[in-house]
Structure 1
Amino acid sequence: MHDKFMSADAAAALIPDGATVALMGGGGGLMEATCVFQAIERRFLATGAPRGLTAVHALGIGDKASRGMNCFAHEGLVRKVIGGHWVWSPRMQQLARDNRIEAYILPGGVSSQLFRAIGAGQPGLITHVGLGTVCDPRHGGGRMNEAARDELAELIRLDGREYLRYKPYRVDVAIVRASAADEDGHISFEHEAANLDAQAIALAARNSGGRVIVQVRERLPRGALKAREVRIPAAWVDAIVVDANQRTSYDIPFDASLSGELTGAARAAAVAEALADEPFSERLAVARRAACELVDGAVVNYGVGVPDAVAKLVVRRGELDRIHQTIEHGTYGGSLLDGVLFGYARNASAMLDAPTQFDFYGGGGLALAFLGFGEFDALGNVNVSKLGGLAVGPGGFIDIAQNARKVVFCGTFAAKGVQLETGDGQMRVTRQGQVRKLVRAVEQITFSGPQALQRGQSALYLTERASFRLVDGGVELFEIAPGIDLQRDVLDQMDFSPRIASDLRVMPASHFLREDDGHGSLTSRAAASASAAASASA
Structure 2
Amino acid sequence: MSVAIVPTARSDKTGKIVAAREAARLIRTGDTVAIGGFFGIGLAMEVIHALAAIYGETDTETASFGKPRDLTLVWCVSPGDGQQRGAQRLAQPGLVRRLIGGHWTAVPALYQLVAGNQVEGYNIPLGPLSHLYRDIAAGKPGHLSRVGLGTFADPRFGGGKLNEKTTEDLIELMTVGGREYLFYKAFPINVALIRGTTADPEGNITMEREALTVDTLSLAMAAHNSGGLVVAQVERVADVGTLNPRQVKIPGALVDCIVVATAADHHMQTIATPYNAAFASEVRVPLTSLEAMPLDDRKIIARRAAMELRPHSVVNLGVGVPEGVAAVAAEEKCADLMTLTAEPGVIGGIPAGGPNFGAATNAQAVIDMPYQFDFYDGGGLDAAFLGLAEADREGNLNVSKFGPRLAGAGGFINISQNAKKLYFLGTFTCGDLDVSVVDGKLLIERDGKFRKFVNQVEHRTFSGPYATQNDKEVLYITERCVFQLTRHGLELIEIAPGIDIKRDILDRMDFEPVVRHPREMDSRIFRAEPMGLREEMLRLPFDARFNYDRDHNILFLNLSELAVKGHAVIERFRERIRSIVEPLGHKVYAVVNYDGFDLDRDIEDAYLDALKEIGDRYFLGVTRFATSAFMRAKLGDALKKRGVAPHIHESEEEARGVVRETVPRT
Q: Give the shorter-chain TM-score range.
A: over 0.9
Q: How big is the shift at 1:337?
A: 1.6
1:46 to 35, 57, 66: 57
For 1:188-246, what per-residue CA distance to the aligned partner results, in whole angstroms no more than 9, with x for missing partners?
11211001101111111011111100001010100111211111111111111011532
| Structure 1 CA distance for aligned equivalents of residues 350 and 438 of structure 2 | 26
SS at match of 1:428: strand
| Structure 2 CA distance for aligned equivalents of residues 423 and 122 of structure 1 | 60
Q: How big is the shift at 1:149?
A: 1.3
SS at match of 1:142: coil
2:99 to 57, 81, 87: 81
| Structure 1 CA distance for aligned equivalents of residues 440 and 530 of structure 2 | 10
2:29 to 17, 20, 25: 17
1:517 to 517, 528, 531: 531
Q: Is the 8 A contact 1:423 1:513 kept in 2?
A: no
SS at match of 2:77: coil
Q: How big is the shift at 1:519?
A: 4.6
Q: How big is the shift at 1:518?
A: 5.1
- Trace 1:179-190 onto structure 2 (pairs within 5 A): 179-190=197-208
1:57 to 61, 75, 96: 75
SS at match of 2:467: helix
2:517 to 456, 478, 503: 503
Q: Is the 8 A contact 1:337 1:346 kept in 2?
A: yes
- Correspondence for 1:530: none
For 1:367-418, what per-residue CA distance to the aligned partner results, in whole angstroms no more than 9, with x for missing partners?
1000002101111100011013322101111111111011100000001132
Letter in 1 for 2:46: C
2:277 to 253, 256, 262: 256
Q: Do structure 1's residue 208 and structure 2's residue 226 form an aligned pair?
A: yes
Q: Is the 8 A contact 1:24 1:197 kept in 2?
A: yes
Q: How big is the shift at 1:455?
A: 1.7
**Which moves more between the two structures, 226-235 or 483-492?**
226-235
2:288 to 263, 272, 297: 272
For 1:284-328, what per-residue CA distance to the aligned partner results, in whole angstroms no more than 9, with x for missing partners?
001110011111111100001110001111112221221111100
Q: Do structure 1's residue 217 and structure 2's residue 235 form an aligned pair?
A: yes
- Correspondence for 1:111: 129
- Trace 1:429-440 onto structure 2 (pairs within 5 A): 429-440=444-455
For 1:31-73, what per-residue CA distance to the aligned partner results, in whole angstroms no more than 9, with x for missing partners?
1111101101111101582111111111122111111220211
Q: What residue ranges of structure 1 are gaps of 5+ in the alignment?
A: 522-538
Letter in 2 for 1:191: R
**Which moves more between the two structures, 453-462 or 238-247?**
238-247
SS at match of 1:306: coil
| Structure 2 CA distance for aligned equivalents of residues 67 and 418 of structure 1 | 31
Q: How big is the shift at 1:77?
A: 1.2
| Structure 2 CA distance for aligned equivalents of residues 249 and 375 of structure 1 | 29
For 1:63-99, what per-residue CA distance to the aligned partner results, in whole angstroms no more than 9, with x for missing partners?
1111122021111111111111111122122222111
Rg (Cα) greater in structure: 2
| Structure 2 CA distance for aligned equivalents of residues 160 and 516 of structure 1 | 51
Q: Is the 8 A contact 1:424 1:514 kept in 2?
A: no
| Structure 2 CA distance for aligned equivalents of residues 419 and 252 of structure 1 | 30
- Correspondence for 2:259: 241
Q: Do structure 1's residue 360 and structure 2's residue 372 form an aligned pair?
A: no
**Which moves more between the two structures, 117-126 or 47-56?**
47-56
1:310 to 320, 325, 331: 325
**Which moves more between the two structures, 251-260 or 166-175?**
251-260
| Structure 2 CA distance for aligned equivalents of residues 385 and 254 of structure 1 | 30
For 1:434-471, what per-residue CA distance to the aligned partner results, in whole angstroms no more than 9, with x for missing partners?
21100100001001011111222111100011100111
Q: Is the 8 A contact 1:468 1:477 kept in 2?
A: yes
- Correspondence for 2:20: 8
Q: How big is the shift at 1:516?
A: 4.3
- Correspondence for 2:612: none
- Trace 1:262-301 onto structure 2 (pairs within 5 A): 262=283, 267-269=284-286, 271-273=287-289, 275-301=290-316
Letter in 2 for 1:65: Q
| Structure 2 CA distance for aligned equivalents of residues 66 and 162 of structure 1 | 42
| Structure 1 CA distance for aligned equivalents of residues 14 and 359 of structure 2 | 36
- Correspondence for 1:464: 479
- Correspondence for 1:328: 343
**Which moves more between the two structures, 211-220 or 381-390?**
381-390
Q: Do structure 1's residue 394 and structure 2's residue 409 form an aligned pair?
A: yes
1:444 to 459, 467, 489: 459
SS at match of 1:132: coil
Q: How big is the shift at 1:145?
A: 1.6
SS at match of 1:429: strand
Letter in 1 for 2:495: I
| Structure 1 CA distance for aligned equivalents of residues 158 and 488 of structure 2 | 24
Q: Is the 8 A contact 2:75 2:102 kept in 1?
A: yes
Go from structure 1 to structure 2 and tell me whether the alpha carbon gap of 1:268 and 1:299 turns closer, same or farther (over 3 Å shift). Answer: same
| Structure 1 CA distance for aligned equivalents of residues 204 and 96 of structure 2 | 30
TM-score for the superposition, normalised by structure 2 = 0.75
Q: Is the 8 A contact 2:334 2:534 kept in 1?
A: no
Q: How big is the shift at 1:155?
A: 0.5
SS at match of 2:149: coil
Q: Is the 8 A contact 1:181 1:218 kept in 2?
A: yes
Letter in 2 for 1:486: I
Q: How big is the shift at 1:25?
A: 2.1
TM-score for the superposition, normalised by structure 1 = 0.93
Q: Is the 8 A contact 1:260 1:347 kept in 2?
A: yes
Letter in 2 for 1:295: R
Q: Is the 8 A contact 2:340 2:351 kept in 1?
A: no
Seq. identity, %? 45
Q: How big is the shift at 1:249?
A: 2.4
Q: Is the 8 A contact 1:384 1:393 kept in 2?
A: yes
- Correspondence for 2:548: none
| Structure 1 CA distance for aligned equivalents of residues 533 and 473 of structure 2 | 26
Letter in 1 for 2:313: A
Go from structure 1 to structure 2 and tell me whether the alpha carbon gap of 1:222 and 1:287 turns closer, same or farther (over 3 Å shift). Answer: same
- Trace 1:88-167 onto structure 2 (pairs within 5 A): 88-167=106-185
- Correspondence for 2:433: 418
Q: How big is the shift at 1:255?
A: 2.1
- Correspondence for 2:542: none
Q: How big is the shift at 1:430?
A: 3.0
**Which moves more between the two structures, 174-183 or 413-422?**
413-422
Q: Is the 8 A contact 2:288 2:330 kept in 1?
A: no
Letter in 2 for 1:503: H
Q: How big is the shift at 1:248?
A: 1.3
- Correspondence for 1:194: 212
**Which moves more between the two structures, 449-458 or 42-51?**
42-51
| Structure of higher RCO (CA pairs closer than 8 Å, 6+ residues apart) | 1
- Correspondence for 1:532: none
Q: How big is the shift at 1:107?
A: 0.7
| Structure 1 CA distance for aligned equivalents of residues 38 and 372 of structure 2 | 15
- Correspondence for 1:35: 46
Q: How big is the shift at 1:423?
A: 4.7
| Structure 2 CA distance for aligned equivalents of residues 207 and 75 of structure 1 | 30
